[in-house]
Amino acid sequence: MEQPQDIVALIKERDTFAHKLGIEILEASEGCSRVRMELGADTANALGNVHGGVIFSLADLAFASACNSEGIISVAIESNIHYLAPLKSEGPLEARGMKIRETRRLGFFRIEVYPPGADNIAVLQAIAFRKRKD
């Protein structure tokens, strides 16, 4: 079995798309994670709100870091996002991922996206295939 922090470190080092967006993994352990990014003009849609693709990308990295935080290499096989409210594209945005159930080969996760101190603006539900488990 891989060491959990080795896999998370690999994600931090090699996820060039997350680097481009400025997403930072703040925490990742025991099936949970928290990630953060700064919003600005380059993350806005035509209405000045956070672009849906940015929200999904932040949630996706929270999912990846949560499902790989237990030392089992895991990959997404399904995800479904619900956009709950618009948000102006300014200030910080965070996502918190948590495992809600698992089987021998699957992990089920819920990821909440929110500006710090405020309600969720999106919720992602996702399933990970766990490539191997000792």
Buried b (16+ CB within 10 A) or exposed e, 70-91: bbbbbeeeebebebeeebebbe
Give the residue from 94, 106, 100, 96 showing the smallest Cα distance to 130. 106
pLDDT at 8: 85
Q: In whole angstroms, give the CA distance from residue 19 to residue 84.
A: 26
- 65 neighbors 99 (Cβ within 8 angstroms): no
For the residues 7-31, what does the mean pLDDT come to?
92
Alpha carbon distance 29, 14 (integer Å)? 19
User: What pLDDT, on a 0 to 100 scale, did the predictor assign at position 93?
Assistant: 98
pLDDT tops 80 at residue 65: yes
In the chain, what are the domains? 4-130 (3.10.129.10)
Q: How many Å apart are CA 97 and CA 126, to the nearest integer?
A: 10
Is residue 60 within 8 Å of residue 79, measured between CB atoms? yes
Structure confidence at residue 77 as a pLDDT band (50, 70, 90): very high
pLDDT, mean of residues 125-132: 93
State yes or no: pLDDT of 1 exceeds 80: no
pLDDT of residue 116: 96
